Amino acid sequence: MNTGSGAPVSIVEVAPRDGLQNEHHIVPTDVKIAWINALSRTGLRRIEVTSFVRSDRVPQLADAEIVLAEIDRIPNVAYGVLVPNLQGLERALVHRPDAIALFIAVSETFNQRNIGASIEESFARFTPVIADARQAGLPIRGYLSTVIGCPYEGVIDPGKVAEMAERFMMLGVDEVSLGDTIGVGTPAQVKRLLDQVSQRVPVTRIAVHFHDTYGQALANVQTALDQGVCIIDSSVHGLGGCPFAPGASGNVATEEVVYLLEGQGCRTGVDLPALLRAGGLVGRILGRPPVSRLARVPLESIWLNPGKIWNHRR
């Protein structure tokens, strides 16, 4: 089954980048590589593996070069990376990523504090990055963060999100990922947001990126699916959080998104038990139980919907 837009649903696994950059513990490089290799073999098709930001800003991802260079590259899996600027892109290109992503906040204050640049400066910075990424033949994703609420500016106007999403597309990105960075949005707000954004950007080019701070993430994913969105960002075990949102419990969990999708007949191609096992590899290092509820179900008693929707390889 496809979504309302008719396009098949794709999941973008963001745990190795977005998940880890928001965790306190630094995961050793060899563990990280083994973990990404395991995630690569679960049927996931898109994985954002790291970020080429300054290592003094994000020490969790200081090993970006080694990770991208040394992970196994499974055919039909696209390995993306985040780059903040041209310098980051140049570092990344040496190790041949399959896609790049850029990042900007809809909230001017958040952008200033998080990136140290105004929205105008950020967009200006993107122009040469997009040109060079295009030259390298790479697909480009544009992240828009704080699309519903901002810790500094409060409620965000969906009209402003729509304008910035359109501007991003005009600059040359292939898709825009709408991030509820602090996880405050509800389905009604997500619907209003998508109503506005989809007037300016084709719905097949919109991804959604939800955090579960207020327990709304899965409901928000379903709302987006109902609106025709077919690209869902998620993080195995619900890894991640947000330094700007006290108590933030992390990104929506990939296993719960897979379960939600398969439960409505939408084939993800993801092997759920394999995904849960892969998630566990790094969970032990972080020294805490998974945030996701599904990941707490013992593997041997995972519910298999009638018609068996994932391979059972134990």
Q: Which of 11, 15, 16, 18 binds Mg ion (CB under 5 A)?
A: 18
Applying CB under 5 A, does 216 fall inside the site for Mg ion?
no
Closer residue to Mg ion, CB minimum distance, 93 or 181 = 181
Residue at 218: amino acid letter: L
Closer residue to Mg ion, CB minimum distance, 241 or 273 = 241
Closer residue to Mg ion, CB minimum distance, 180 or 262 = 180
Applying CB under 5 A, does 251 fall inside the site for Mg ion?
yes
Closer residue to Mg ion, CB minimum distance, 18 or 63 = 18
Q: Name the segment binding Mg ion (CB under 5 A); options: 87-95, 155-163, 192-200, 246-254.
A: 246-254
- Nearest distance from residue 167's CB to Mg ion, in Å? 22
- Nearest distance from residue 210's CB to Mg ion, in Å? 8
Q: Name the segment binding Mg ion (CB under 5 A); options: 151-159, 223-231, 243-251, 273-281.
A: 243-251
Q: Name the segment binding Mg ion (CB under 5 A); options: 50-58, 139-147, 195-203, 250-258.
A: 250-258
Applying CB under 5 A, does 13 fall inside the site for Mg ion?
no
Which residue in 150, 230, 242, 266 is the catalytic one?
242
242 a catalytic residue = yes
Q: By CB under 5 A, how many residues form the interface with Mg ion?
A: 2
Which parts of this chain interact with Mg ion (CB under 5 A)?
A: 18, 251
